[in-house]
């Protein structure tokens, strides 16, 4: 694929969304195409359950994006969700090779890689694999944590703090197969929460302390940032479909429940409704029944409250306090547009809650500015940044890759 073209595919429980972007000479990304297709039950709680169905949905979303773009893609980044995706911190320390008996050596990229690898030396369950390793900071000779790699600084010892994200190996393999069956190669796999966070959060928010909650159909992906780095990541197995299923308890089909969510529900005003009567179809469409907007709002309020309660419980179990989150919670995902959700969430959780929209990229369509496209846009941004970092490392490191590998092996044997 042209190195200036990037694609991201979000395989969600309700839709597959694809975004294609082109980088100009200044490195600014411009969206050139976007597409989406329903998964039709082939993905449940973020996990592939119907390979063919998911591949067909991915193919349709990619083809739609390509039809709007002037590019045909061969590779794409993809996100993964599900309760099997989780993260935890790690720390690794290595000695920096001395220049001579009296002079400390300079930190190199090989030192950074060695410290990072040491931090990952943990025993994982057989079914798990390390999906991504987020760099959280570095310490040299006991100094305070540095965010940037201390390349070129002299030191005796280097410590790397990381945050590892793991996932079920089988789920990852199935996701990769879906993309291959759609005719594309996987250029990288990222946690859904990380991708959404990259497109909707600002550096200031991540520095001061913020939560990203991407509320999808079956899952809610959570990423907590503090001091500019990832501090916690998890996936809760609940989402907007729980509201739809709750509404269906009054004997209405799914499409009517979705219509109520779109047109009538405002969970912040359930006590102010005028008791207006709404007519909805029953299962099979053979008859209709009346229901008041007050009853509909009450059902939606209780179901949405359960989602918010699960988010609050997850934060408390992770030891995250309100004082750690001055920037509050930023919502993304299709369910974030439920009317009244932000005000109700602020009351329940006790901190500011807002809806985030994709940013950091030139938008060609108002459709892509919606919160449900945050994940795919974030994938494009992460792919571009990762490639730029690799290019920067090649320029800053004059040693041949083979020499680096031999040097690292010798140091590990000493």
Query: What pairs with residue 188 in β-bridges?
Result: 77
Tokens of 229: 């780095």
Domains and CATH numbers, the chain: 87-167+399-413 (3.30.1490.110), 243-303 (3.90.640.10)
First to last CA, the chain: 42
For tokens 């099997």, what's the residue?
Answer: 84
Chain segment 318-360, per-residue pLDDT in tens: 999 999 999 999 999 989 989 999 999 999 998 999 999 888 7
Question: Is the model's pLDDT at 2 over the cut of 60?
Answer: no
Tokens of 403: 């020499």
User: At 257, is the secondary structure helix, strand, or coil?
Assistant: helix
Res. 274 pLDDT band, cuts 50 70 90: low
Distance CA 314, CA 318 (A): 6
Q: What is the pLDDT of residues 240-267, one digit of tens each?
A: 999 999 999 988 998 899 999 988 899 9
β-pairing, 229-236 vs 277-281, is: unpaired
Handedness of CA 171, 174, 175, 176 (dihedral sign): positive
Quote the tokens at residue 398. Answer: 């004059």
Asked if residues 308 and 345 have their Cβ atoms less than 8 Å apart, the reply is: yes
Quote the DSSP letter at residue 319.
Answer: T
Quick: pLDDT tens for 32-59. 999 999 999 999 999 999 999 999 999 9
Phi, psi dihedrals of residue 8, rounded to the nearest 5°: -135, 135
DSSP structural state of residue 121: -
Structure tokens at 66: 């390509």
Question: Within 13 Å and on the Cβ side, how many CA atoms surround 321?
Answer: 2
Which residue(s) pair with 137 in the sheet? 161
Distance between CA atoms of residues 61 and 58, nearest Å: 5
Tens of pLDDT, residue by residue over 88-105, are 999 999 999 988 888 899
Scanning 69-168, the segments in alpha helix (DSSP H) are: 109-119
Cα 159 to Cα 137: distance, rounded to the nearest angstrom:
8
Which pLDDT belongs to residue 407?
Answer: 47
Burial of residue 157 (number of CB atoms within 10 Å: 0-12, 13-18, 19+)? middle
The b/e string for 30-41 (b: 16+ C-beta within 10 A; e otherwise) is ebbbbbbbebee
């Amino acid at each position: 694929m042209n190195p200036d073209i990037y694609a991201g595919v979000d395989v969600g429980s309700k839709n597959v969304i694809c975004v294609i972007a082109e980088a100009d000479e200044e490195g600014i990304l411009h969206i050139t195409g976007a597409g989406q297709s329903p998964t039709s039950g082939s993905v449940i709680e973020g996990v592939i359950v119907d390979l063919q169905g998911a591949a067909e949905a991915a193919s349709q979303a990619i083809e739609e994006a390509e039809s709007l773009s002037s590019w045909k893609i061969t590779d794409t980044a993809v996100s993964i969700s599900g309760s099997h995706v989780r993260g935890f911190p790690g720390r690794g320390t290595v000695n920096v090779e001395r220049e001579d008996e009296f002079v400390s050596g300079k930190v190199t990229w090989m030192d950074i890689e060695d410290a990072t690898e040491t931090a990952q030396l943990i025993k994982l369950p057989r079914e798990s694999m390390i999906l991504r390793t987020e760099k959280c900071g570095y310490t040299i000779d006991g100094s305070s944590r540095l965010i940037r790699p201390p390349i070129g600084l002299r030191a005796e010892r280097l410590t790397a703090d990381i945050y590892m994200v793991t996932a079920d190996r089988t789920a990852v393999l199935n996701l990769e197969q879906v993309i291959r069956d759609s005719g594309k190669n996987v250029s990288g796999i990222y946690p859904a929460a990380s991708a959404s966070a990259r497109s909707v959060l600002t550096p200031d928010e991540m520095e001061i302390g913020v939560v990203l909650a991407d509320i999808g159909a079956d899952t809610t992906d959570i990423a907590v940032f503090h001091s500019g780095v990832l501090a916690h990541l998890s996936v809760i197995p609940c989402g907007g479909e729980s509201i739809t299923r709750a509404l269906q308890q009054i004997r209405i089909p799914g499409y009517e429940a979705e219509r109520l969510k779109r047109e009538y529900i405002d969970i912040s005003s359930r006590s102010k409704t005028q008791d207006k009567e709404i007519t909805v179809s029953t299962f099979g469409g053979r008859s209709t029944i009346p229901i008041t907007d007050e009853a509909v709002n009450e059902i939606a309020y209780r179901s949405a409250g359960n989602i918010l309660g699960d988010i609050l419980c997850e934060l408390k179990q992770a030891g995250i306090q309100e004082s750690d989150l001055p920037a509050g919670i930023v919502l993304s995902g299709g369910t974030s547009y439920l009317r009244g959700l932000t005000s109700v969430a602020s009351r329940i959780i006790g901190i500011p809650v807002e809806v985030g929209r994709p940013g950091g990229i030139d938008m060609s369509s108002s459709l892509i500015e919606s919160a449900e496209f945050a994940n795919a846009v974030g994938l494009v941004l992460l792919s571009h940044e990762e490639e730029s970092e690799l290019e920067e490392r090649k320029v800053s490191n004059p040693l041949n890759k083979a020499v680096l590998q031999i040097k690292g092996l010798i140091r590990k044997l000493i």
